């Protein structure tokens, strides 16, 4: 039985079929249940053209036809042609995705261990490689022990739902990743947010929490580097507050690991705080360029989670070739500190160049946001840059608020100076054409 409800006031009611009217809608109309077409058929039919537009605009799911690198071949859906583009839209910050020595190690591991384990780590999915990786991750993050999950998403779900019980409280930054928000939905603990990177608000929150629950477990969770703006959490102040209010500190260092700190140790290294974080979460989907995630901390905490974290216990192990790729990536980091320096130099160079042509960007990590205010069509901007040979991502609502649409550039260590010059020049040209670069160039 159809249960179609009234449309919201600001959208014309459909006169014909749902499909005829679907171009009136965008992804944002479907967020949080959207329009009230709550039959599965109704909402999915209505959504189909919205999805098709995003794909046909090459705004999402662009088709890569070769190796992921600083320069890589991508198919232009509008023309069907393959373009060799400069990659400024990847979390493969150090360029390890196609590093020959790492590829070799994954091939060797595949020959020795095969392609997969056929079960979760607690049963049959724990190889020598898994043990070595956990030991190395623990050392890398200055923790007693570490455990590997099938994804960073699972790692966040896993530690938060596994560790926090009904009388515990999670205090988290408002700009936390979706995986932490989902952990909060799934978990049985109390959760309160504080305004993004606002230390005074965090202090007030902790005071309120302690006022209500003097003796309960409290964990403060922040990200090292925030993925939308690339800004960094003020970890020293946060650590001080945690000590003052007897809270543990957890950090999601997905975008800090391999990027911040001289040896790529991440946000704690950047602040000289190695060994001072209670729970360190990370992912293999950024600098290690594969998939998987991990949690590091005290040995007893990790062993508790091995049996009480459902995404760990009930999900199959990472395949040995993937584990080998991360081990090889860690070796690479140890033996090639110059690659991290190269990334820092490239970030400095690109930021200075973008500022010199008039973009106002304030950058602390390898993520550079460039605001594209409404009503400029972000899809057109992204496609124009793609036509000019630059792959960047556009970020729009619901990923960010409606008034904060932006291009998100992610810098890679393996981009050359002339690549970066081209990016600066071309982004400025496109910015002037579309009107998101208004300031005259300064020299």
Q: Would you tell me which residues interact with ligand PMP (CB under 6 A)?
A: 151-153, 156, 177, 179, 223, 227, 252, 254-255, 283, 285, 293
∠ Cα 131 133 136 (to 5°): 110
Q: In this complex, which beta carbon is closest to ligand PMP, that of residue 294 or of residue 436? A: 294
Q: In this complex, which beta carbon is closest to ligand PMP, that of residue 229 or of residue 252? A: 252
Give the nearest distance from C-beta 174 to ligand PMP in angstroms.
Answer: 13
Q: In this complex, which beta carbon is closest to ligand PMP, that of residue 367 or of residue 370? A: 367
Q: In this complex, which beta carbon is closest to ligand PMP, that of residue 217 or of residue 285? A: 285
Q: In this complex, which beta carbon is closest to ligand PMP, that of residue 62 or of residue 255? A: 255
Give the nearest distance from C-beta 223 to ligand PMP in angstroms.
Answer: 5
Paired sense of beta strands 406-410 and 367-371, if any: antiparallel
Those residues whose C-beta lies under 8 Å from the C-beta of residue 233, and which sit 6 or more positions away, are 173, 197, 222, 223, 224, 225, 226, 251, 267
Give the nearest distance from C-beta 421 to ligand PMP in angstroms.
Answer: 29
Give the nearest distance from C-beta 227 to ligand PMP in angstroms.
Answer: 4
Those residues whose C-beta lies under 8 Å from the C-beta of residue 7, and which sit 6 or more positions away, are 13, 14, 35, 36
Give the nearest distance from C-beta 226 to ligand PMP in angstroms.
Answer: 7
Q: In this complex, which beta carbon is closest to ligand PMP, that of residue 273 or of residue 289? A: 289
Give the nearest distance from C-beta 151 to ligand PMP in angstroms.
Answer: 4
Give the nearest distance from C-beta 74 to ligand PMP in angstroms.
Answer: 20
- At 410 the three-state DSSP class reads strand
Those residues whose C-beta lies under 8 Å from the C-beta of residue 40, and which sit 6 or more positions away, are none
Give the nearest distance from C-beta 201 to ligand PMP in angstroms.
Answer: 20
Give the nearest distance from C-beta 438 to ligand PMP in angstroms.
Answer: 31
DSSP string, 120-158: -TTTT---HHHHHHHHHHHHHTT-SEEEEESSHHHHHHH
∠ Cα 309 148 120 (to 5°): 65
Put the strands of the sheet holding 279-283 in their side by side order.
145-149, 293-297, 279-283, 248-252, 218-223, 169-173, 190-194
- At 380 the three-state DSSP class reads helix
Residue from 1, 57, 69 nearest 27 by CA:
57
Q: In this complex, which beta carbon is closest to ligand PMP, that of residue 47 or of residue 153? A: 153
∠ Cα 148 152 156 (to 5°): 95
Paired sense of beta strands 218-223 and 169-173, if any: parallel
The DSSP call for residue 412 is -
Block residue for tokens 């009611």 = 13
- At 251 the three-state DSSP class reads strand
Rounded to a whole number of angstroms, the CA Rg of the chain reads 23
Give the nearest distance from C-beta 407 to ligand PMP in angstroms.
Answer: 17
Q: In this complex, which beta carbon is closest to ligand PMP, that of residue 117 or of residue 151? A: 151
Q: Which residue has its beta carbon closest to ligand PMP?
A: 152
Q: In this complex, which beta carbon is closest to ligand PMP, that of residue 292 or of residue 353? A: 292
Q: In this complex, which beta carbon is closest to ligand PMP, that of residue 145 or of residue 221? A: 221
The sign one gets for the Cα dihedral 255, 260, 264, 267 is negative
């Amino acid at each position: 039985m159809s249960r179609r409800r009234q449309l919201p006031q600001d959208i014309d009611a459909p006169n014909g079929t749902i499909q005829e009217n679907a171009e009136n809608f965008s992804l944002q109309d479907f967020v949080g249940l959207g329009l009230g077409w709550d039959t599965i058929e109704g909402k999915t039919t209505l959504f189909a053209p919205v999805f098709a537009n995003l794909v046909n605009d090459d705004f999402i799911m662009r088709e890569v036809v070769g190796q992921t690198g600083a320069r890589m071949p991508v198919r232009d859906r509008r023309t069907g042609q393959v373009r060799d583009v400069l990659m400024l839209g990847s979390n493969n910050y150090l360029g390890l995705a196609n590093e020959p020595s790492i590829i070799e190690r994954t091939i060797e591991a595949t020959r020795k261990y095969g392609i997969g384990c056929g079960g979760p780590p607690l049963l049959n999915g724990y190889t020598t490689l898994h043990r070595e990786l956990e030991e190395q991750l623990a050392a890398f993050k200055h923790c007693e022990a570490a455990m590997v999950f099938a994804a960073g998403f699972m790692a966040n779900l896993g530690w938060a739902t596994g560790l926090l019980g009904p009388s515990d409280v999670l205090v988290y930054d408002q700009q936390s990743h979706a995986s932490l928000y989902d952990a909060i939905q799934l978990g049985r603990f109390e959760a309160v947010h504080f305004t993004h990177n606002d230390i005074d608000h965090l202090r007030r929150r902790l005071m309120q929490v302690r006022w209500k629950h003097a003796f309960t477990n409290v964990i403060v969770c922040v990200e090292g580097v925030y993925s939308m703006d690339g800004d960094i959490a003020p970890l020293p102040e946060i650590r001080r507050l945690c000590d003052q209010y007897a809270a543990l500190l957890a950090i999601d260092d997905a975008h800090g690991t391999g990027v911040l700190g001289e040896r790529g140790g991440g946000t704690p290294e950047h602040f000289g705080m190695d060994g001072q974080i209670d729970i360190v979460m990370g992912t293999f989907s950024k600098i290690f360029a594969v998939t998987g995630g991990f949690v590091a901390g005290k040995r007893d905490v990790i062993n508790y989670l091995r049996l009480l974290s459902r995404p760990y216990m009930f999900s199959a192990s990472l395949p040995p070739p993937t584990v080998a790729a991360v081990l090889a990536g860690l070796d690479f980091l140890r033996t090639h500190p110059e690659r991290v320096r190269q990334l820092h130099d490239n970030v400095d160079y690109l930021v200075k160049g973008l500022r010199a042509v008039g973009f106002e960007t304030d950058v602390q990590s390898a993520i550079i946001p460039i605001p594209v205010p409404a009503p400029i069509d972000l899809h057109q901007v992204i496609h124009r840059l793609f036509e000019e040979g630059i792959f960047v991502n556009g970020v729009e609502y619901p990923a960010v608020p409606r008034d904060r649409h932006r291009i998100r550039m992610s810098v890679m260590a393996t981009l050359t100076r002339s690549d970066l010059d081209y990016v600066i020049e071309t982004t400025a040209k496109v910015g002037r054409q579309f009107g998101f670069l208004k300031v005259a160039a300064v020299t």
